[in-house]
Structure 1
Amino acid sequence: MKNILISGALGYLGCHLSVFLANNFPMYNILAVDNESDKKYISNKKVLENYSNINYLKKDITDIHFLESILNEKKGFFSTYLSGKIDIIYAFAFDSNLDLFSNKSHNLTDNLKTCISIATQAIKSWNNLKDKKIIYISSADVYGNKDKNFSEQDCLNPENLKGSLHASNEMILKTMSLNYGLPVTVFRASSYFGPGCKHNNIPTHILSKLAINEPINLPISIKSQINIIYYDDLIYGLETGIKTEKTFDIYNLGGFNISVGDFIDISKQILQKRFGLNYNQKIDYPIDKILYSTISLDKVYNDLGWKNYTELEDSIEKTIAYYISNDS
């Protein structure tokens, strides 16, 4: 029996992973934690509370006393929720709504504080690091922009705040692993989409606007090459992190390498053929920036036997259907 702590559990991926593990792996007990600061996913609280093997707590994962209480194997706090010890920590608690000049700019440092708090407290509290692991969900944004398929061996060159913060957290965790033996697996996820996703990334923005026939405003050129993945495939990939054996390792998790223009064209065809709707709004990208951020998936397939399985057309159709049915 493994006990799994999921931080940022109300977020899109955190919630879906919690439910996936609860439904498919009865040998896992889940402690789902979230500070409920991101109100757009607050309804996921009711979803998690419906599962007997998911224990939900409204807590701040940066609260050192809370972390010490649930990770320290000599104390009985955790037995209030589940028997046994925390074996796996999924670190999802990352604020993607980053604005350097807003009044909430402290969120930038909070992203670093979360990672440092989890790692340092795990080292202090876990008596035996065998069969323990931190699984950190990073982003393919750490690579930056280059005309090639990025592999895990490529140098990091982030060009946005999100990528820079994830790269910093990766380096912190790698240092903790090298110096203290902390077992860490990092997954660099590409842009994900699916029913219910409310992120303002490229595929989600495109599909949500197509479904309700509203203008599409992009921060990059439609000539850009990106990698996109359906959320189901990403969740299955994240579960494989429990099985990794190295003290420290990094894996890309992505789906299809595709141009933004081709993704729009395929989506418009599906909108017309499957739903009988036509898109006739403007597609605008005022900054003609061409981004090259495709990634290689060879390592995760060779090491973990994982690959994305959902056909692109199917994933687009399911997502568009959600946005059409939920258009208010």
Structure 2
Amino acid sequence: MDRFIEGLPKVELHMHLEGSLEPELMFRLAERNGVTLPYPDIETLRQAYDFHNLQSFLDLYYQGAQVLLTEQDFYDLAWAYLERCAEDNVRHTEIFFDPQTHTSRGVPFKTVIQGISRALKDGEQKLKISSYLILCVLRHLSEAEAIKTLEEALAYKEHFIGVGLDSSEVGNPPANFAGFFDLARQQGLKLVAHAGEEGPADYIWQALDLLQVSRIDHGVNCTEDPKLVQRLADSRVPLTVCPLSNLKLKVVDEMEQHNLLKLLHSGLCVTVNSDDPAYFGGYMTQNFKAIAEALNPDCEEIRQLSLNAVEASFLPDSAKRELVQEILRYQG
């Protein structure tokens, strides 16, 4: 099974670029930019990756982002992730980035977007990995701040394909951002939102009905509501599930408890993704291997998860057809 997973063509739809900042790169950028980290060495930093919930992770996540200051920093971050994609046979990726994490520190939006976009262009040319950017806004901040961020970003609209909603979920329902998503929809942008990770199934309903998203990021708590599960199955609205993240953040206590295969067997368009791989201990291949070990799927179920990701992607139909055929031909 490991060999089958390693060679399987993959598509990733839920990965926060800032969450791919490995400790080694964090220290390298800190030294380059004269930033002092509150950890004496890489090993001490890794030991801090012991999270008890989403917020404990976010505190470290935002702290780590402090080392990202220049266009070259954002290029290096994106390029390092793309190299991992190449190792894991990821053919297409749709990447989240959090501009407010950087603009709030005085880093210009232009610096962020140009550094990332330059790396993604090189990734397509040199690594043959296609990619789209999705601008995420932070739900623990106000909708007014989100709208301000989008208005600034529209000058660089050619560099991103959609918008998303992330950060601290509990107590920050999707309904708070209905106006922001209306504005993004008017701009012709794709719409996704984190819902149902730590938040209740009702947050998924809100994301579907009030925000009118085409994808739910996480969504594992949909099983609280059988009617919602049926709706997701009937509509094929995708869930971008992140197994190792769910384990690391205590969404599940053990991987054997994960409902990924249950959702797959219920007819939902579930996909496998890495979320914040530098912090949660695994990129795409590791996530597939973790569910293979714990849930014992067969090769066709693993293949279906990859096919679902193609279906759920924002790729044009012609590119989807090519990837589907490649995945179907793959024998391992």
* TM-score normalized with structure 1 length: 0.34
Structure with the higher fraction of residues in helix conformation: 2
- Of structures 1 and 2, the one with the larger relative CO (CA 8 A, separation 6+) is 2
Which of 1 and 2 has greater Rg?
1
* TM-score normalized with structure 2 length: 0.34
